[in-house]
Amino acid sequence: MKITIVGTGYVGLVTGTCFAEGGHRVVCVDCDAEKVRTLREGGIPIYEPGLDDLVKKNVSEGRLSFTTSTKEGVDRSDVIFIAVPTPPLPDGGVDLSFIEGVARDIAAAMTSYKIVVDKSTVPVKTGEKVAETIKRYCKARVEFDVVSNPEFLREGFAVDDFMRPDRVVIGVSSERPVQAMKEVYAPYHAPIVVTDINSAELIKHAANSFLALKISYINAISVICESAGANVQEVANGIGMDARIGRRFLDAGLGFGGSCFPKDLSAFIKISEQVGYDFRLLREVQHINALQMERFVKKITDTLWVLKEKTIGVLGLAFKQNTDDVRMSPAIDLCHRLQKEGAVLRVHDPEAMEKAKGVLSNVTYVADMNAVAQGCDALVVATEWPEFKKLDLERARKDMTHPIMFDGRNLFDPKEMERLGFIYKSIGR
């Protein structure tokens, strides 16, 4: 198939590259000329495990190319995926101006039948608006179909998620594009759910909101565990063995963050309001998520008392492991809260330090995780990078002014930390 992807962010670049790996011929379009130049020269603007090699391979084999011209992308493809940002608005809604702009550009360039696929996460009814926009601005008056094909990629695991998907959701308003969409996804041997566009759009928001609910649920349980002297990890293992519940997304921590869950949760609450339903359950999910960070900061202040001029080492800046994405990162939020209290920060992240510099200043960025603890009054684990489990704890204890650790991701064993001489505070244990 000949495919165009408009937008080369996390979703667009992974989608285009994996389509090329599946044997399709793919053109990726982006309005950022510098980003396109970087991609053409073999550079990758994001960190995503496995993506670098796949981009280079498919560019060299001629299946993947990059351009700043939407017209070129439209001319060279049969199926056009829209994968541009849908940033949040102050009222919890979604800014759809990028979607509308791309729809207009596609319409202006169309001279023959095309399938236009919305890959971005959008509110229900967006597909109808995209179709109206294309019809309004397409001077050639050619036929087209709009399809909703929500993505379910986890940052840090996106390549594997794309190549081995749980399911592919295809929302259509006619049968005409169905076979072509099945051919697009044929190389990945996934169950395909064909439904109407509105249902497809709701599936994405409903799925992410449910996962956010699971995270807030176990975080609420962690509060009870701390008060009752129980271990939240043991509780999570016990309930997670129930096939109806499952163990995934039942790890207590600092709360969810990133560019998807908070935005999609707010958007789904707003969508519900617009159709006349007050989704109070999801409002409580947001409330629990906010309280989790407040409790963690209180744990630090209760232990250290005054944070002013205290030196605190922070391990982790990305919102989760295996990514350099710091958008709405709980780790960055924590750093800002500690700075507000007057703390002096030494920070480290395996991949996210360069991007963190754009949102976090007046801290010492440390290249070696084992050097972060030098002179610190306390150490904080803020992101669940597996590398942090290999931290030289003996060295950290000796390097610190006071051997105190606040583990916001439950990476270490409380008994072992106590044996090593640490004052150790974790979540729900």
Instruction: Give the pLDDT of residue 262.
Output: 95
pLDDT tens-digit profile of 179-217? Answer: 999 999 999 999 999 999 999 999 999 999 999 999 999
Nearest to 39 by CA among 2, 71, 73, 14: 14
User: Cβ of 414: how many Cβ atoms within 10 Å?
Assistant: 15
Nearest to 73 by CA among 18, 136, 8, 137: 8
Percent of the chain with pLDDT over 90: 99
- Is residue 81 classed as helix, strand or coil in its secondary structure? strand
46 and 10 Cβ atoms separated by less than 8 Å = yes
Instruction: Give the pLDDT of residue 239.
Output: 98
The alpha carbon of residue 214 and the mean position of all alpha carbons in its chain are separated, in whole angstroms, by: 16
Instruction: Give the pLDDT of residue 145.
Output: 98
Q: Average pLDDT over the chain, rounded to whole?
A: 97
Q: How far apart, in Å, are the Cα atoms of 265 and each of 120, 157, 190, 212, 364? A: 15, 21, 27, 8, 34
Instruction: Point out the catalytic residue in the list 18, 28, 138, 260.
Output: 260
Is residue 42 scored above 90 in pLDDT? no
Instruction: Give the pLDDT of residue 204.
Output: 95
Instruction: Give the pLDDT of residue 324.
Output: 96
Nearest to 414 by CA among 229, 218, 228: 229
Is residue 360 scored above 90 in pLDDT? yes
Percent of the chain with pLDDT over 70: 100
pLDDT tens-digit profile of 368-426? Answer: 999 999 999 999 999 999 999 999 999 999 999 999 999 999 999 999 999 999 999 99
Task: Average the pLDDT over each of 40-54, 171-185, 341-355 and give the range with the smallest value.
Answer: 40-54
Interval 47-69 mean pLDDT: 96
- What is the helix, strand, coil percentage profile of the chain, to 5? 45, 15, 40
The alpha carbon of residue 414 and the mean position of all alpha carbons in its chain are separated, in whole angstroms, by: 30
Interval 76-86 mean pLDDT: 96
Name the CA radius of gyration of the chain, rounded.
Answer: 23
pLDDT tens-digit profile of 115-148? Answer: 999 999 999 999 999 999 999 999 999 999 999 9
pLDDT tens-digit profile of 253-299? Answer: 999 999 899 999 999 999 999 999 999 999 999 999 999 999 999 99
Interval 229-258 mean pLDDT: 97
Q: Is 335 a catalytic residue?
A: no
